[in-house]
Amino acid sequence: MTTKKKTKDLILDAAEELFAIRGFYGVSIRQITTKADVDPALASYHFGKKKDIFDAVMLRRAEILNRERIQTLDDCIRRAKPNPAPLHEIIDAFTHALLNRSNKGGKGWRSYFAIIAQINNHPELGGIIMSQYFDPLAKKFLQAIRANMPDANDEDLYWCYHFLSGALTLTFSGTERINKLSDGLCASSDLDAVHERLVPFITAGFKAFMRPFGHQ
């Protein structure tokens, strides 16, 4: 028995889809409420300012993702005890939930990640919400890596994380330039193919700077 969707969610769904395509400034409240088949005033009534709608869109799935990713990382660390977790498993834990949802989570999730891809390169909008939810996880992730590579240089470590972040988020954007560049050789939507390659690519990048635990 699926009850009728509440107005709040109708608005968030519509906003999510539109923000993904045209960005925050490229979408008007009337476009959102029209798509949601709802009166424009309800957006203000339920959320307040336009930016608050955007924040609500971000928040909704960030909570889910955050729980999932922390869990995966913890599992991976626990499994390896008393040794530090292997690097490629840490990176897999960091990326898997994201790519999986992006690939198999349906249209809503795909839109959500498209927004993240924009925001990650545009700090003014990501703002508090994103930092609040993703920075703690990033720190946890970096701690896990450090446990694996105790002699790692701080700056090296953070830049490597930065590169990972960039490679990952560009993938979310769903750009089809890959397709064009490869003359159609790549099915850009097959995110399993991405995951298979992203993890070893990034792992190798990290290892270029630091010898992992157990190797000399």
Residues at the site binding DNA, with contacts judged by CB under 7 A: 6-7, 27-31, 38-46, 48-51
Site for a copy of itself in 46-85 (CB under 8 A): none
The entry of DNA, a copy of itself, none near residue 22 (CB within 5 to 8 angstroms by kind) is a copy of itself
Q: Which stretch binds a copy of itself (CB under 8 A): 9-17, 49-57, 66-74, 157-165?
A: 157-165
Phi, psi of 215 (to 5 degrees): -100, 95
Q: Mask 115-144, x = binds a copy of itself (CB under 8 A)? A: --xx-xxxxx------x---x--xx--x--
Please state, as a whole number, how many other Cβ atoms lie within 10 Å of the Cβ of residue 216: 4
Tokens in use for 107?
Answer: 């249209």
Nearest CB to a copy of itself, comparing residues 1 and 185: 185
Contact of residue 40 among DNA, a copy of itself, none (CB under 5-8 Å per partner type):
DNA
Of 91, 161, 191, 210, the one binding a copy of itself by CB under 8 A? 161
* The three-state (H, E, C) secondary structure of 151-216, written as one string: CCCHHHHHHHHHHHHHHHHHHHCCCCHHHHHCCCCCCCCCHHHHHHHHHHHHHHHHHCCCCCCCCC
Question: Token pair for residue 39?
Answer: 């009166």
* Tokens 């009728």 found at: 4
Q: ∠ CA(70), CA(213), CA(211), 5° rounding? A: 105
Asked if 41 touches a copy of itself (CB under 8 A), the answer is: no
- The yes or no reply on residue 203 touching a copy of itself (CB under 8 A) is yes
CA distance 175 to 169: 11
Binding site for a copy of itself (CB under 8 A): 21-26, 117-118, 120-124, 131, 135, 138-139, 142, 154-156, 158-173, 175-178, 180-182, 185-186, 193-194, 197-198, 200-209
